Amino acid sequence: MANDHDHTEPPSDIALRVKALESLLIEKGLVDSAALDEIIEIYENKVGPRNGAHLVVKAWSDRGFKQKLMEDASSAAASLGYLGRQGEHLRVVENTPELHNLVVCTLCSCYPWTVLGLPPAWYKSAPYRARAVSRPRSVLEEFGTDLAKDVSIRVWDSTSEMRYLVLPLQPKGTEGWSEENLLKLVTRNSMIGVELAKTPDQIQSMKQGID
């Protein structure tokens, strides 16, 4: 419902109210324009899912780093420069051939900002928050993810300040790939757990689609 609303309603009324609030707060000296612009700049252009993908490919290719990441994800992420708000207590959960992890926040929109940036609209939508805990397999199907019947799903509801990042399974046939090539396989959605990492075939057909 909220999701549809995002895309179909003309924003005129709320846009005007937000403009009025901003000019009021500036007139009262309660916010600083340059600070507002910088906050937007950070979360629109600097912090994003490439950070998380970097952690994932390093974990895939470096056993020592993976161990550090699984033991203390906040420190491992900080060692690559990814630290700050909404990543203070980070935990990485690993997919295996038998177990698939899925992250949700049923009460609001908790999400590991330092490694994934701001959450997509669907993650904050009522249907996702409602159904991820009660019908996770149908949620995955809606994202085109068909897990084998014998793979069980572990759903993480982020009710505290712990933040969860999924370590997707490394696709078969990509062992020994460079970090740069591995990065192409790791999507934001695979680190939330609604999808799997891309296979080499999928990357190939995407390329052909573009050519």
Partner 1 sequence: MQGGHDLGGKQGLGLINPEPEPIEPVFHYDWERRVFALTLATGMLGEWNIDQSRFARERQHPAAYLNNSYYENWYEGTCRLLLENKLISKNELESGRAEGAVSLSLRVPSKKDAIKILSSGGPTRMDVGTQPKFNIGDSVYVRKKFTDGHTRVPAYVQGCIGEIVMHHGGHVFPDTNVTGNRKGEHLYSVRFGEDSLWGSNEDKNELYIDLWEPYLELK
Check 74, 105, 125, 158 and give the catalytic one: 105
> Judged by CB, which is closer to partner 1: 59, or 186?
186
> Judged by CB, which is closer to partner 1: 21, or 62?
21
Residue for token pair 């629109």:
44
- Minimum CB separation of residue 36 from partner 1 in Å reads 4
Reply yes or no on whether 108 is catalytic. Answer: yes
- Minimum CB separation of residue 35 from partner 1 in Å reads 4
Check 23, 33, 75, 108 and give the catalytic one: 108
Reply yes or no on whether 138 is catalytic. Answer: no
DSSP at 184: T
> Judged by CB, which is closer to partner 1: 62, or 141?
141
Output the six-digit token pair for 60: 């895939």
- Minimum CB separation of residue 161 from partner 1 in Å reads 4
- Minimum CB separation of residue 103 from partner 1 in Å reads 10
- Minimum CB separation of residue 110 from partner 1 in Å reads 10
Distance CA 130, CA 181 (A): 36
Burial string for 146-171 (b: 16+ CB within 10 Å, else e) reads eeeeeeeeebbbbeeeebbbbbbbbb
Query: Do the Cβ atoms of 197 and 186 come closer than 8 Å?
Result: yes
Q: Residue 99 forms beta bridges with which residues?
A: 152
> Judged by CB, which is closer to partner 1: 61, or 187?
187
Q: How many CB atoms lie within 10 A of CB 189?
A: 20
> Judged by CB, which is closer to partner 1: 62, or 144?
144
DSSP at 96: -
Reply yes or no on whether 109 is catalytic. Answer: yes
- End-to-end CA, the chain: 37
Check 110, 125, 158, 190 and give the catalytic one: 110
Residue for token pair 């799997």:
196
Query: Do the Cβ atoms of 90 and 115 come closer than 8 Å?
Result: yes
176: left (phi over 0), alpha (psi -120 to 50) or beta: left
Residues with a catalytic annotation lie at 105, 108-110
